[in-house]
Amino acid sequence: MTMSSFLAFPMNNLKPAVFLDRDGTLIEDVGILTHPDQIRLFPDTIDALQRLSRNYVLFVVSNQPGISKGLVTSQQVASVNSALDDLLRKKNVTIRKWYICPHQRNENCHCIKPNPFFLQEAAYRYGIDLPRSFIIGDHPHDVYTGDTLGVFGLYLLTGHGARHLPELPADRLVFHSLLEAVHWISKHPQPAQQLDASVRRASAIIKKGGIIAFPTETVYGLGADVFNPQAVAKIFKAKNRPLYNPLIVHIAEIAQLAPLVADIPDVAWPLINRFWPGPLTLIFRKRQIVPNIVTASHPTVAVRMPLQPLAAKLIRLSETPIAAPSANFFGRTSPTSATHVMDQLQNVCDAVIDGGACRIGLESTVLSLTEARPRLLRPGAITQKEIEQVVGRLMLVDVPPAKAGSVESPGMLPYHYATKTPLCLVDSLAAFSRRPDVGVLLFAPSELLFDGPVELLSPSGDMIEAASNLYAAMQKLDLLGLSAIITNLTEETGVGIAINDRLRKASFKTVQPPTAHEKM
């Protein structure tokens, strides 16, 4: 294809496109597919593609290293693609072309270097406007592919997404599902410019004393200028949050710590150097300038430095630390997407920065540094073991539930993170398998069959992936009008400790299996 062929398309007739990975994005990643019978669509694939096809030309890009390894033939791959193409056409979804890369990623193949051939060919042959296009996949490679040509990449936590998430730079947006990514695209046809404008608008609101919702790597926060007590009061009113429950102050650089804290103990520095920016909140003795409404009149202040680049940019542009609890009604499940925020706080929040899904999905670990030895007040993604590798043995790991009016840190109340639908911890999931009105949270695949809806938190049984999906799954089941949501606890190790902490606090009660005549 020559440049003159490309120029046959008038510039104002160029069309935006979406390039989609196949396995793990459109269909479940079950390994090497050799026959169409192995195709398993995700539940939202058809809906998502139908929505996309209204405004975008669709292409599928499939990396098939099994061809070069001799594990599958080109003909077998083509037969699977053809069957999937027929299935989609019957649903009024047209894939303009199916691209296949048969090479292993370490082969440095011509398919992607120096620029992806399929993006260039799509631009030349089909008149695609690459700077207005997107690429979606569940591997970091998928997201990087379009960088040099201005194609905006979105990362999915489906397929192998959660497994490879640590390899993905913090500035890339992630989503729990293809449909979530499609909704985001519909609101951000010019993503880079619109994200920048959204953060700048939010920072202007902060400076004027407003409250805004913003993404962090843990959950979405509802923030205000920490030094403006009237603005901070709006947070408590919007959330219906009791004034005895203190807030966490978010900073973007170490220089912002000095105006907040009376002193920084020596033990803080190795923790800061190791875990900031990141999901660790440290509690210090506060300076008098920090308003009492932020700290619930405690002499201490909780501070963390978020890793999420949009949060850091917001804080820098606002030119002040930002006090922020989770962006939800008090006691309810914390939001891990902008949609969760809008469902609860749309009418009381001045603006929302939609930064996709939160990568960690659980609130930060909270560590108090106000005594001789650090105290773990709330478990989180940074585990006790990781902290002890830096500062030695912690003190009072098993903190008793706080009472109303005496809360030292956010997240210490005995009942929190709850869904509207009663969430129940049960000894036997099988006892509820024939209940279509009961939703189930599973940590790993199960041989049990359930009549009610099931949310699988991790196809591989990985607890980091389960944590990332926990709140989103709870929110999804909560919208179905069920009688109850049931689950059990996971192992009390690593991030499983934090997961169990949230489930215990969110649970309505522990129940026994119902008899045939009982209804939960």
Tell me if residue 366 falls in helix, strand or coil: strand
Phi/psi region, residue 508 (left: phi>0; alpha: psi -120 to 50; beta: rest), is alpha
Tell me if residue 487 falls in helix, strand or coil: strand
Tell me if residue 280 falls in helix, strand or coil: strand
Q: Is the peptide bond before 43 cis (omega within 30 degrees of 0)?
A: no
Name the DSSP letter for residue 374. Answer: -
Q: What is the pLDDT of residue 4?
A: 42
Dist CA 451 CA 240 (whole Å): 36
From residue 255, how far is each of 203, 247, 262, 307, 321 by CA, in Å?
19, 20, 14, 16, 10
Question: Is the domain of 136 the same as that of 207?
Answer: no
Question: Is the domain of 182 the same as that of 199?
Answer: no
CA 350-506-368 angle, 5° bins: 75
Quick check: is 373 in a domain? Answer: yes
Please report where in the chains the tokens 């006892």 appear, as a residue: 431
Q: What is the pLDDT of residue 346?
A: 85
Q: What is the pLDDT of residue 396?
A: 41
359 CB-near residues (< 8 Å, 6+ apart):
165, 174, 217, 308, 468
Quick check: is 303 in a domain? Answer: yes
210 CB-near residues (< 8 Å, 6+ apart):
224, 231, 234, 350, 351
Instruction: Express the helix, strand and coil content of the chain in percent, nearest 5 each.
Output: 35, 20, 50
- pLDDT of 242-253, one tens digit each? 999 999 999 999
Residue ending a domain, among 391, 412, 432, is 391
Q: What is the pLDDT of residue 66?
A: 75
Question: Is the domain of 127 the same as that of 273?
Answer: no
Say if CB 337 and CB 356 are below 8 A apart.
yes
Q: How far is CA 198 from the centre of its chain?
A: 19
Q: What is the pLDDT of residue 9?
A: 53
Quick check: is 411 in a domain? Answer: no
Dist CA 178 CA 184 (whole Å): 10
Residue ending a domain, among 169, 188, 207, is 188
Residue 155 main-chain phi, psi, to 5 deg:
-110, 135
Question: Is the domain of 459 the same as that of 480?
Answer: yes
Quick count: other Cβ atoms within 10 Å of Cβ 118? 21
Quick check: is 399 in a domain? Answer: no
Quick check: is 518 in a domain? Answer: no
- pLDDT of 89-129, one tens digit each? 999 999 999 998 877 666 666 666 556 888 999 999 999 99
Dist CA 211 CA 233 (whole Å): 10
Quick check: is 413 in a domain? Answer: no
Question: Is the domain of 139 the same as that of 234?
Answer: no
Torsion, Cα of 384, 376, 229, 336 (10° steps): 40
Question: Is the domain of 7 the same as that of 151?
Answer: yes
Query: Position 398: which residue type?
Result: D
What's 500's domain CATH number?
3.40.50.11030
Quick check: is 345 in a domain? Answer: yes
Question: Is the domain of 199 the same as that of 63?
Answer: no
Question: Is the domain of 124 the same as that of 211?
Answer: no
In angstroms, how far is the first alpha carbon of the chain from the final one? 65
Question: Is the domain of 94 the same as that of 63?
Answer: yes
What's 105's domain CATH number?
3.40.50.1000
Question: Is the domain of 332 the same as that of 318?
Answer: yes
Q: Which domain holds residue 470?
A: 423-511
Residue ending a domain, among 345, 373, 391, is 391
Quick check: is 325 in a domain? Answer: yes
Say if CB 24 and CB 137 are below 8 A apart.
yes
Dist CA 488 CA 23 (whole Å): 30
Instruction: List, run by run, the mean pLDDT of 10-residue segments along the chain (520 residues).
Output: 47 88 92 90 96 97 82 90 96 95 69 74 95 95 89 95 93 96 97 97 98 98 98 96 94 97 94 97 97 95 98 98 96 94 92 97 95 90 92 58 58 73 93 95 94 94 94 95 95 94 81 40
Q: What is the pLDDT of residue 3?
A: 43
Question: Is the domain of 177 the same as that of 227?
Answer: no
Q: What is the pLDDT of residue 403?
A: 52
Q: How many helices (H) and strands (E) does the chain have?
A: 17, 20
User: Number of C-alpha atoms within 13 angstroms, CB side, residue 315?
Assistant: 27
Q: Residue 3 is encoded by which pair of tokens?
A: 């440049």
Domain total in the chain: 3
Q: Residue 9 is encoded by which pair of tokens?
A: 């398309």
What's 245's domain CATH number?
3.90.870.10
Question: Is the domain of 142 the same as that of 171?
Answer: yes
**Strand 248-250's sheet: what is its strand order?**
351-352, 212-214, 221-225, 322-323, 248-250, 300-304, 280-285, 365-368, 375-378
